[in-house]
Structure 1
């Protein structure tokens, strides 16, 4: 059987592919920001001296990290309506990605915080720094700087995992690709194009995250 490679039908659908790529960027960016903030909260709860609080945070982190992301998406989109909570596909996608990102971010940031020596914190307090300033400048900023590469890798992986939310009809890139495939029957060309676009999105995210890292986590030099 001779196969004729033809990207024409796929290229003709570029507005749909662009729309899907932008939706993927939107969903991923929102989830990254919310996931990091929620992750810091869970990290603080995880490190709490109150055992009950620490154990609840630990249970959440372990639950998310040890269950498939697709199952989490299905639970939120198909399971929560049984409890009277109905979300649209994009809302369910963002919620699932945020909760998933938060669990991984909490452990990554916790590793950074635990790398900060107690002497540095004590020195900050001895200098009369406010507690918030101690957390901001002596604990969180150096901690996040230390684990920033790991966070970036996790963010990019999460963006790639966003393809799984197509299973609940969230109109991101993979879902759009499936629509084009069903209309053109050019599966090889469609998924080849999706692979190229996801590669481009990964490189774009990597460049943006590197720029953010150089802007906010680089030490001034004279």
Structure 2
């Protein structure tokens, strides 16, 4: 283990560049998957004929596929039908597809967890179905969704490392390159220890923020 050489300024800068790519891909994927997952989950909760059934099949199919397979498909298979994405766009697309399906189920379950009496009381007071959904049901459901949604976001951040298979220059990819520069692998432990700390710092911060938010809403 050679900590001094492993933690040279060039190596640390290169590792930080990879981590910034990880955070960028994760952030964009989180925003997009929350948007798409919210729409899909709400539509499934609304139980619209045909639409809900189609979405249910799509969601269950995606949820039961390995994320790695979706990444491969997005980067290697889509060009076969004329859709060629560069590496970062392919990683974001694959993560968004997978996480949208996961989040849609969390959101649908959260909406269903609100007691039916709330809906009946709102409708009897003159509110429309849409007003009831967004003014009464959604605010209550969101409080219950915070822990599982944050947990899913943490998983998404960690899952960005799978994009190393398509050479996305993220944290793990750059850590592997640095490790490859040591003939005796003396950089392995220091570099991957630092990479692990970076993941932990961000994910633990997200967990603390979610816990505080949950306590405020109680």
- Equivalents in 2 of 1:201, 1:183: separation in Å? 27
After TM superposition, the score normalised by the length of structure 1 is 0.87
Instruction: Output the CA distance in 1 between the equivalents of 2:26 and 2:178.
Output: 22
Name which of 63, 67, 70 aligns with 2:68. Answer: 70
Q: 2:2 aligns with which of 6, 17, 28?
A: 6
Q: Residues of 1 paired with 2:163 and 2:80: CA distance? A: 20
Aligned to 1:142: 140
Unaligned segments of structure 1, at least 5 residues: none
1:27 aligns with one of 25, 28, 33: 25
Match of 1:93 in 2: 91
Query: 1:102 — aligned with what?
Result: 100
Which SS does the other structure have where 1:47 is aligned? helix
CA displacement, residues 16-60 of structure 1 (integer Å, 9 cap, x when unaligned): 121221221111111112111111222133335444322211111
Match of 2:197 in 1: 196
TM-score (norm 2): 0.88
1:140 positional shift: 1.4
User: Match for residue 59 of structure 2?
Assistant: 61
Displacement after TM superposition at 1:105 (Å) = 0.7
Q: In structure 2, what is the Cα distance between the partners aligned to 1:14 and 1:80?
A: 35
Q: Deviations over 1:67-105 (max 9, x none)?
A: 111110000001100010011111111111111111111
Match of 1:80 in 2: 78
Corresponding pairs, count: 213
Residue 212 (structure 1) shift = 5.5
What RMSD in Å do the two structures reach over aligned CA positions? 2.0
